[in-house]
Amino acid sequence: MLTLLQRIKNKIHPSKEEPLTQGLISQASQILAHHHIASIPRDYLHFLHFCNGIQYQDAWLLGIFEDHSRNNDICRFNLQISHPLSKDIIFLGFDEFDLLGYNQQWNTYQIIDKDDFEVLEEYQDLETALNYILKIEA
């Protein structure tokens, strides 16, 4: 993961507009639970402490923000999308064609087609999934 974080730092220069706090995490967790949406995986929360929501080319990684009004807010995005398995899956990002989700039931990161919600790829670790969605080359 350190290698990926360094590549993100070198290519994207993520800003620290709104740092992630425990209060923001608790608030987002409560909102997601109230709407029966899967919880945010621990390793993604760790990642958000480094860069809380980023955009690179045509890809977005969702963050957690105070007012939940940003398009890249994890609560807003997950509340707007109607996935039939939202109690098991939380979306963490997207690119032009695909969604990056975490399937809590299977403990896997999934690349899911935006149009028909078909699972295209599955990864056991966050770093590989982030590399896929961001397409950051070494």
* Tokens 């608030």, located at residue: 27
- What span, in angstroms and rounded, lies between the C-alpha atoms of 109 and 96? 18
> Within a 10 A sphere around the Cβ of 76, how many other Cβ atoms?
17
What pLDDT sits at residue 104? 95
Q: Per-residue pLDDT for 48 more than 90?
A: yes
Residue ranges and CATH numbers for the domains of the chain are: 2-8+18-134 (3.40.1580.10)
CA-atom Rg of the chain in angstroms: 14
The mean pLDDT value for 83-96 works out to 89
- What span, in angstroms and rounded, lies between the C-alpha atoms of 9 and 132? 17
Q: Is 117 left (phi over 0), alpha (psi -120 to 50) or beta?
A: left
Residue 125 has φ and ψ, to the nearest 5°, of -125, 150
Letter string b/e over residues 28-63, b meaning 16 or more CB atoms within 10 A of that residue's CB:
bbebbeeeebbebbeebeebbeebbbbebeebbbbb
- What span, in angstroms and rounded, lies between the C-alpha atoms of 21 and 73? 14
Q: Per-residue pLDDT for 16 more than 80?
A: no
User: Model's pTM, two decimal places?
Assistant: 0.88
**90 near 37, Cβ under 8 Å?**
yes
Look at 94 and 2; give whichever has higher pLDDT. Answer: 94
Q: Per-residue pLDDT for 8 more than 80?
A: no
Q: Per-residue pLDDT for 14 more than 80?
A: no
